[in-house]
Amino acid sequence: MHQYRFQTHGPEETGLLAHKLAAQLLPGDILAMSGNLASGKTTFTQGLTAFFEIKEYALSPTFTYINEYHGEKQDIIHIDAYRLNSGEELISMGIWEYFESGAIVIIEWADIVAGAIPEDAFGLSFRAVIGAENSRDILIHSPRALEISL
């Protein structure tokens, strides 16, 4: 698994990184995001939905768990696992149908539901940079090392 490491210096830059990744994603790809509150997971997701020209604005689906975005060319499923307790809970919500639907599936707080996430998912971890309010360290683990360039 190949790992890319970035530091962004504002939400716009995080959005640009999301575009770069989005351009190389395939239908059915899964993005497992981890990182604290306000570390940039939803901001990155907004960059992805913008890339696929989805008109709705992606908000953290904290109260609904799952948002579905339908794009002309690509659907995106956005899951927030913050209030879930285990992978089994996500499985009981029908996650496998989403995985098999051809949608790109984004999961915030993926570590909480790790048991439900396939091994070939992308792993994205977000971290605030101490002493730099608008900076974020973003690690991207690609399951397709040689096929993705960021």
Ligand X SMILES: Nc1ncnc2c1ncn2[C@@H]1O[C@H](COP(=O)(O)OP(=O)(O)OP(=O)(O)O)[C@@H](O)[C@H]1O
Q: Provide the b/e sequence for 11-47 (b: ≥16 CB within 10 Å).
A: bebbbebbebbbeebeeebbbbbbbeeebbbbbbbbb
**86 belongs to the binding site for Mg ion (CB under 5 A):** no
Look at the block and give the residue holding tokens 């974020």.
136
Pick from 25, 35, 51, 124 the residue near ligand X by CB under 6 A.
Answer: 35
Paired tokens of 13: 């830059």
Burial of 92 (0-12, 13-18, 19+ CB in 10 A): exposed
H or E, element range at 129: strand 122-129
| Closest to ligand X by CB, 30 or 48 | 48
Residues counted in the chain: 150
State which of positions 93-132 bind ligand X (CB under 6 A).
108, 126
Pick from 60, 86, 101, 135 the residue near Mg ion by CB under 5 A.
Answer: 60
With CB under 6 A as the rule, give the number of residues binding ligand X. 20
Residue 49 interacts with which of Mg ion, ligand X, none, CB < 5 to 8 Å by class: none
With CB under 5 A as the rule, give the number of residues binding Mg ion. 4
**43 belongs to the binding site for ligand X (CB under 6 A):** yes
Q: x/- contact string, 29-58, with Mg ion (CB under 5 A)? A: ------------xx----------------
Measured CA to CA, the distance from residue 10 to residue 69 in angstroms comes to: 25
The residues that touch ligand X, with contacts defined as CB under 6 A, are 8-11, 13-14, 35, 37-43, 60, 108, 126, 134-136
- The binding site for Mg ion (CB under 5 A) comprises 41-42, 60, 108
